Amino acid sequence: MTKIIGLTGGIGSGKTMVAEYIKSLGIPVYIADDEARKLMMSDKIIKAISNEFGNGILDNGKLNREKLAQLVFNNPEKLQKLNNIVHPEVKKHFYTWVEKHKNYPFVVKEAAILFESGSNKYCDAVITITSPIETRLQRVIERDNTDRESVLKRMQNQWTDEQRIAKSDYVIHNLSVDATKKQVDEILKLLKNQ
């Protein structure tokens, strides 16, 4: 049976880089945030979200992601309501995807909130990526063209590295691209030999 390997880390830790590297080695990688974004454009989810949060988050029948983000990100209760709508759909989509890749010994599920969403329970192993906080801040500020305070707020909504590490099977310390790729190679070798 295909094993599911969770890949997680805080915002700006380097999850995308690691996921892309793993994908380049021919291992299927499911990017949960990207798939959730696509699923949120479906009529079914748009309807459920607008029923929960009102039509003010729609522009011409389409979801206005910025309005929705402003509404939920500093409100844990509203964020939970949104997650309760989106996560079950992502979970169903993921298992359909796994079925399509069942001939692989393992697949990787990259998810920023793997632990927060409880998805780690369905993984055979979890890899956490860490990176110094200042490095993470700089990456996200540049990537999202945002400010330090906004990034820090987003970080506060996620688990800490310490919390993730305590529940992970493998840890990658992302300090440089080459060193990170070496760590990934070592972990993949261990996974293939299990």
DSSP SS3 for 106 = strand
Torsion of CA 71, 36, 14, 152, to 10 degrees: 10
Instruction: Enumerate the β-bridge partners of residue 171.
Output: 128
DSSP SS3 for 75 = coil
Q: Pick the closest to residue 108 from 37, 182, 170 (CA basis).
A: 170
Binding residues for ATP: 12-17
Instruction: Enumerate the β-bridge partners of residue 127.
Output: 7, 170
Binding residues: 12-17
Q: At what angle do helices 177-192 and 15-24 cross, to 10 degrees?
A: 60
Region for 174 from its dihedrals, namely left if φ exceeds 0, alpha if ψ lies in -120 to 50, beta otherwise: beta
Q: Do 130 and 165 meet the contact criterion of CB atoms below 8 Å apart?
A: yes
Which amino acid does the sequence have at 169?
D
150/22 Cα distance (integer angstroms):
30
